[in-house]
Amino acid sequence: MTDLVLFDIDGTLLKSGGLGLVAMERAARELLHPDFHMHGIEVAGRLDALIVRDMFVRAGVVQTSEATLAFRRRFASIFRQLVTDSSACRALPGGPELVAAVRRTDGFVAGLLTGNYQETGTLKLELAGYEPPPAGFAICAWGDDSPHDPPDRAHLTAVAMERFRMRFAARPDPRRVTIIGDTPHDVRCAHAHGCRCIAVATGQYSRKDLHAAGADLVVDDLNRTDELMSWMTDHRRASLRDPALGA
């Protein structure tokens, strides 16, 4: 059996200096309303698809598929210009080392479960020094991959697990799927499918917040690679010993 480790991007693997929000707001001012602002729209841990939906509602603009595609293209274009003109996109402590450890360890597969659109998420990873998918991350669930309307982050766990099944011809054991993220949304989307969650306090939420959300393990950052790998390996052994063991 194989363990699947799904990493969130923003606040977990890297930070991009808030330039994603700047790019979204600029795109909205060009395409939705000249006075548009992002204040009050929840973004941490949420899907880009949901954030953009909220933006259309605030602007009073009907969100057709054509309008969404135009917005997404303009957002990506502005974001690319902003990040390539700055050094704001940087890996967070321990992120590259942990991803590398997962990739080189037999019986583990590294993947992504993120609210980002694919084009902007991939660019963030590249600029922060990560090898992008498919080489760097074998399984990906992006922010617009939910098959349901309205979309929800919890839907992405099932998407990632199904893509694992299609690639490896075996359905993953949820007890051997670990989601690593920095928000209560990551905890919820893991536990909704019986998976484990390592919550890292490098985003907007404190250790206390993440403990309260029910994370299986809370850490300050992703340093101590060996300890995190040992935690995941120990849980793998426990699940094999006790078939009734939950997440």
pLDDT tens digits, residue range 109-146? 999 999 999 999 999 999 999 999 999 999 999 999 99
The predicted pLDDT at position 154 comes to 95
**Spatial contact of 45 and 215, defined as CB atoms under 8 Å apart:** no
**Spatial contact of 38 and 115, defined as CB atoms under 8 Å apart:** no
Are 99 and 197 in the same domain? yes
Are 112 and 189 in the same domain? yes
The predicted pLDDT at position 236 comes to 64
Alpha helices in 181-224, H assignment, sequence order: 184-191, 207-212
pLDDT confidence tier of residue 234, bands split at 50, 70 and 90: confident
Question: What is the rounded average pLDDT of the residues 5-25?
Answer: 96
Are 7 and 121 in the same domain? yes
Count how many domains the chain has: 2
Are 154 and 72 in the same domain? no
Are 45 and 8 in the same domain? no
Question: What is the rounded average pLDDT of the residues 175-199?
Answer: 97
> In this model, does residue 235 exceed pLDDT 80?
no
Does residue 80 fall inside a structural domain?
yes
Q: CB 131: neighbour CB atoms within 10 A?
A: 15
Are 71 and 124 in the same domain? no
Q: How far is CA 203 from CA 61, 115, 135, in A?
A: 31, 14, 26
Are 217 and 233 in the same domain? yes
Are 111 and 185 in the same domain? yes
**pLDDT mean across residues, the chain:** 93
Query: Which of 84, 108, 139 finishes a domain?
Result: 84
Query: Which of 46, 68, 84 finishes a domain?
Result: 84
Q: What is the pLDDT of residues 57-78, one digit of tens each?
A: 999 999 999 999 999 999 999 9
Residue with tokens 């003109």: 85
What residue numbers bound the domain in which 121 lies?
Answer: 3-15+90-241
Question: What is the rounded average pLDDT of the residues 193-207?
Answer: 97
Tell me if residue 191 falls in helix, strand or coil: helix
Closest-CA residue to 167 (of 92, 109, 93): 109
**Spatial contact of 141 and 160, defined as CB atoms under 8 Å apart:** yes
Does residue 116 fall inside a structural domain?
yes
Tell me if residue 107 falls in helix, strand or coil: coil
Question: What is the rounded average pLDDT of the residues 200-225?
Answer: 97
The predicted pLDDT at position 237 comes to 58
CA–centroid distance for 196 within its chain = 15
The C-alpha angle with vertex 195 and arms to 222 and 12, in degrees rounded to 5, equals 25
pLDDT confidence tier of residue 238, bands split at 50, 70 and 90: low
> In this model, does residue 201 exceed pLDDT 70?
yes
Does residue 246 fall inside a structural domain?
no
Q: What is the pLDDT of residues 93-106, one digit of tens each?
A: 999 999 999 999 99
Are 114 and 195 in the same domain? yes
The predicted pLDDT at position 242 comes to 43
Output the domain CATH number for residue 218.
3.40.50.1000
> In this model, does residue 162 exceed pLDDT 90?
yes
Tell me if residue 135 falls in helix, strand or coil: coil
Are 139 and 54 in the same domain? no
Query: Which of 84, 110, 134 finishes a domain?
Result: 84
